[in-house]
Structure 1
């Protein structure tokens, strides 16, 4: 295990960390602060890596794939991985007296790791990200503009609602390329080819009409999961990731209860995944949002115990890519980030945006900032600005509606600012009929593709994240800072 001792006062340093998967927190904090660990055990699986949890200790910070320590002048140290195909690379920075100890832990085959002292942490981190992306043959297509059903209809989505929004988008000339059907069309989690009772049709009925309206059809899947009530689980209990007791291992709590993950070291599971992706591609879906992918990477007892967690995840994702085809557009979500490079085209880089700013009780008192909220999405997605060379970042949707939303004008503008700064995928989920003239104008602005911005400084932060960019500044705190209102974004050049 590589280890470095830095003779530096920990009180002078900020630490930049990135969590395990899409929703896991990324932050920029004083090194002597405390990295939160969720009190709820099921959030360890659903929001983090149970095999390398946040520390929960003052002055001890853990990070996946990359780590940076920043001096007050912007210099410091940057750690990174040379490859993440079959290996989890975990970093820990530990403050102790007048020193900092940095360790790097590899789970999987030996891979090169980089630890560099630098006069410019931002530039060095970006350069390391480019090297990793090239080593893993990253796919970085042009960003797409997507309408998604989730934040409008959640699981109550219907075929008619999809087509109504698509027609309205066409009639208004909104520049979407993709209309993506999200969760709710399927009979159960795992039973993807059977329709739900309320959908009013079948998922295969949608691509034709969407294509006629000029849109690329998109579909949501959580391909590695199975509900205990599903036909998939009933017919193939031996396909599930297991605990030490030999029973299927719960890997989170959603959809009203616990759910299970497929064991992607099982040859029959890989064949099923390839067939699933090929089937929905055959229905006409060339854009797939693949969600809750972390399930294949969790600790557990596998069919083939010789296959490590990162490799198990990667071969499951490879099966989906093989089934969908090289020309399909795959968006990962709830996914181990670096281990997906080269197989996904885009990646969610933060928690879900939601039509409210913060769920403070969960974040502060339960130590969990991986859940849906506008604040959590900005906090983490902004702190992963350097990941463009790995895939197209997906910071999630703009919220432009005023109805069915608790976001203020300033908070909606902050979300729009995040999309502009990150410059990746653009997405909306507002029911188009609810948008007034102001909402439509904001939506058009949010759908305007921009070049990625870079931080102006990592030595300042308004809210524990990367908030100071060359094109503007975010205030994620609950008080006025630097002349900015709480929960706001001010556009403007920073020299």
Structure 2
């Protein structure tokens, strides 16, 4: 039996916890942060249920368990001390609930903070892209996963959930000015197939060094003993060709690379992206590949390249034979019937149900077939879209394990024979099933896309070389100043969004060819790829670049791979402007002017332990003198400076 109490306090190193039974709330103090009047909630069918009748069930040196009642059943709120890989003390919290009735879906909330102040919030996405650097004051909602960083007064508060999680968990809140209202930490239990359910643990840490908190999370979540295999630079067909790619164009670019004195030394992989197949779900060559995919794999291998192939494992278009004759293998909607849960660029499809044994066997056989043809690299796409289906054949598989069910048979078919890039790969599937993972959203040769994706490239620095090899998407340079291509602006992919009733005003921008980057903007994108320490994948029509464009790409693929660059202003700015990267030859420095006006930028290198008298300019081979340990550069709009130690 539990005991009623008024207030009970615990102190675990620098963490103070005070639980008040009278108003069913608790207070936390971590370093400079005080989280007051916190509470625990449950939600079902968009209805929130408060907890009441708090009692102590267990008060041990390293654990405090509070019993409570709710309209959904009896619950336990469990607190324990936490210690990250850098020995920073924190606290771990979760809820356990014994349901009093059968429910479909429950949202468990072990922590809701009514109000707190913030100078900056770093929002982290569940899959590729989805990260934002939110500088206050601002009015904005946020929804963050895995690790969320709140900065105030120069200190950082980190909320983390496990990377591998059965139940999808997140941190949400609303920012008004500098105030965060209703910061809510939650786990969705869907479907509820057991009477006893539990949220994922949330661990909370505070430190003056936010970068160290994020890297400690990466160290704690990595699979011990996993070898991180860094990708060699490659070429991918998608960004320039999209669905127009053909066998002829693949071989034309491969031949160009092979005959180029610089590119040939560094580019070792050719990946045929979306557009080679008959349709999603029917993975056989279309007429643009008249000799078939086995021929192309052998041809690329003869030319000295590793053949790679793009496949969307669970997307099944309606006109595929799979969709017509294997409907039992499709995931279901609320109706209990197969549904068009997949959608991208106005293409719709069913979803293969990975909880079925026959679906997993189909995936194993599909990838075994292409491994046998000679493909040594697979880009798996649209994995996250699988979760748009409402019902799967095996309801005992929690949502957090669905992505793993897709990739496991593929990994088995390819292990030791081919590498896997997870694109649209939900991080909760963990690091064991993939070799590399997309860190940013889709990047194009367009300033808006470059700027939008810079935050995700920066926010994922902690996973590079720890969990996998980050893929910051394509290293592109084509544009009016770098191309001799008469068809530069021919492809207009966004026209698919123009409906018959869309007005001229609403259709503005839908004819964007995503090939408008200036040479300075291209340098900024290529610099981001280099400074990130991640994969380098070209995706331009190489024979149609001019001398300036080819010079940029030759320099990019020739660059020594450095460690993950550190975005120094990650917790201060809206976009990463200042980077430092370690490499075997010293350090690289990157300064970026994201604004539309000329800007003078500076960095005190001595403050970061870097002693040098000059830096070599990466793009021009000139040098920049360092005075009193400080580099100062005047940058044009959208321009960057990338320098390396002399």
Alignment TM class, shorter chain as reference: 0.7 to 0.9
Contact 2:438–2:471 (CA<8 Å) still a contact in 1?
Answer: yes
> Is the contact made by 1:460 and 1:468 (CA closer than 8 Å) also made in structure 2?
no
Question: Counterpart in 1 of 2:159?
Answer: 79
Q: Separation in 2 of the partners of 1:492 and 1:457? A: 18
Match of 1:378 in 2: 454
The secondary structure found in structure 1 opposite 2:447 is coil
Aligned with residue 18 of structure 1, among 111, 124, 138: 124
Corresponding position: 1:475 with 2:593: yes
Conserved in 2, the CA contact under 8 Å of 1:242 and 1:249? yes
The secondary structure found in structure 2 opposite 1:250 is coil
TM-score, reference length from structure 2: 0.65
User: In structure 2, how many angstroms separate the alpha carbons of the residues matched to 1:154 and 1:124?
Assistant: 39
Distance 1:330 1:126 in 2: 24
Within-5 A mapping of 1:24-173: 25-30=130-135, 33-34=138-139, 58=140, 60-73=141-154, 75-94=155-174, 102-107=183-188, 110-134=199-223, 140-173=228-261
Pair 492,215 (structure 1): closer, same or farther in 2 beyond 3 Å = closer
Flag the 1:452–1:216 CA change in 2: closer, same or farther, 3 A.
Answer: same
- Relative to structure 1, the CA distance from residue 232 to residue 166 in structure 2 (aligned partners, 3 Å threshold; closer, same or farther) is same
Offset of residue 181 of structure 1? 0.8
- Aligned residue in 2 for 1:188: 279
Q: Are the counterparts in 2 of residues 63 and 90 from structure 1 also a CA contact under 8 Å?
A: yes
Distance 2:344 2:571 in 1: 38
Cα offsets for 1:382-404 (capped at 9, x unmatched)? 23222212211101111123232
User: 1:277-313, CA deviations, whole angstroms, 9 ceiling, x for partnerless residues?
Assistant: 1111111111000111112233511111111112122
Per-residue deviation, residues 35-72 of structure 1 (Å, max 9, x unmatched): xxxxxxxxxxxxxxxxxxxxxxx3x4210111001124
Q: Could you tell me which of 354, 364, 372 is aligned with 1:274?
A: 364
- Following TM superposition, by how much is the alpha carbon of 1:200 offset from its aligned partner in structure 2, in angstroms? 2.4
1:486 counterpart SS class: coil
Work out the number of aligned pairs and report it: 448
Alpha-carbon distance change, 68 to 286 in structure 1, aligned in 2, over 3 angstroms: same
Cα distance 1:450–1:228, how it changes in 2: closer, same or farther (>3 A)? same
Distance 1:93 1:468 in 2: 28
Extract unaligned runs of 5+ from structure 2.
1-108, 190-197, 489-514, 581-588, 601-633
CA contact under 8 A between 1:184 and 1:199: conserved in structure 2?
no
Taking the aligned partners of 1:32 and 1:301, their CA distance within structure 2 comes to 41
Q: For residues 478 and 245 of structure 1, do their structure 2 counterparts lie closer, same or farther at Cα, with a shift above 3 Å needed?
A: farther
Alpha-carbon spacing, 1:8–1:243, altered in 2? closer, same or farther (3 Å):
closer
Other structure's SS at 2:138 match: coil
Please give the alpha-carbon distance, in whole angstroms, between the structure 1 residues aligned to 2:247 and 2:173.
50
After superposition, residues 303-382 of structure 1 pair within 5 angstroms as 303-358=393-448, 373-382=449-458
> Higher helix proportion, which one?
1
1:485 to 618, 626, 636: 636
Verify: 1:284 aligned to 2:371, yes or no.
Answer: no
CA distance in 2, matches of 1:68, 1:295: 27
- The answer (yes or no) to whether the contact 1:139–1:390 under 8 Å persists in 2 is no
State whether residues 382 and 467 of structure 1, in contact with CA within 8 Å, keep that contact through their aligned partners in structure 2. no
Judge conservation of contact 2:131–2:456 (CA < 8 Å) in 1.
yes
> Which residue of 2 is the match for residue 42 of structure 1?
none
CA, structure 1 residues 379+484, in 2 after alignment: closer, same or farther (shift >3 Å)?
A: farther
After the TM superposition, list the runs of 4 or more consecutive aligned residues in structure 1 that deviate by more than 6 angstroms: 96-99
State whether structure 2 residue 483 is matched by structure 1 residue 395: no
Q: Deviations over 1:446-494 (max 9, x none)?
A: 2123322112233432xx2333222222333444455543323223599
Shift in CA distance, 199/273, structure 1 to aligned 2, threshold 3 Å: same
Question: How much has 1:274 moved relative to structure 2?
Answer: 0.9
SS in 1 for 2:341: strand
Structure with larger Rg:
2
311-320 vs 433-442, which moves further: 433-442
Aligned match for 1:301, one of 369, 391, 399: 391
CA contact (8 A) 1:149 1:182 kept: yes
User: Any idea what SS the aligned residue of 1:465 has?
Assistant: coil
Equivalence for 1:179: 270
Query: Aligned in 2, Cα 1:472/1:283: closer, same or farther, shift over 3 Å?
Result: same
User: C-alpha deviations, 1:58-98, integer Å up to 9, x for none?
Assistant: 3x42101110011242x211122234153322112455896
Q: Distance in 1 between matches of 2:359 and 2:424?
A: 20
Residues 110 and 2 (structure 1), Cα distance of their counterparts in 2 relative to 1, 3 Å cut: closer
- Report the CA distance shift for 1:231/1:294 in structure 2 as closer, same or farther (over 3 A): same
CA separation in 1, counterparts of 2:593 and 2:342? Answer: 32
Q: Is 1:82–1:131's contact at 8 Å kept on the other side of the alignment?
A: no
2:147 and 2:161 in contact (8 A); partners too: yes
Deviates more, 1:213-222 or 1:244-253: 244-253
Distance 1:254 1:459, change over 3 A: closer
Q: Equivalent residue of 1:208, what SS?
A: helix
Report the Cα offset of residue 269 of structure 1: 0.6
TM-score (norm 1): 0.84
| Residue in structure 1 matched with residue 12 of structure 2 by the alignment | none
Quick one: distance in 2 between partners of 1:200 and 1:170? 23
- Please give the alpha-carbon distance, in whole angstroms, between the structure 2 residues aligned to 1:228 and 1:145: 36
Work out the CA distance in 1 between the residues paired with 2:539 and 2:314: 24
Q: Does 1:259 align with 2:259?
A: no
1:133 Cα offset (Å): 1.6
Partner Cα distance (2:135, 2:256) in 1:
48
- CA shift digits 1:358-413 (9 cap, x unpaired): 2xxxxxxxxxxxxxx33333232223222212211101111123232311011101
Kept in 1, the 8 Å contact 2:477–2:517? The answer is: no
Residue of structure 2 in register with 1:421 after alignment: 531
Question: Cα distance, 1:99 vs. partner?
Answer: 6.7
SS at 2:222's partner residue? helix
RMSD between aligned residues: 2.4
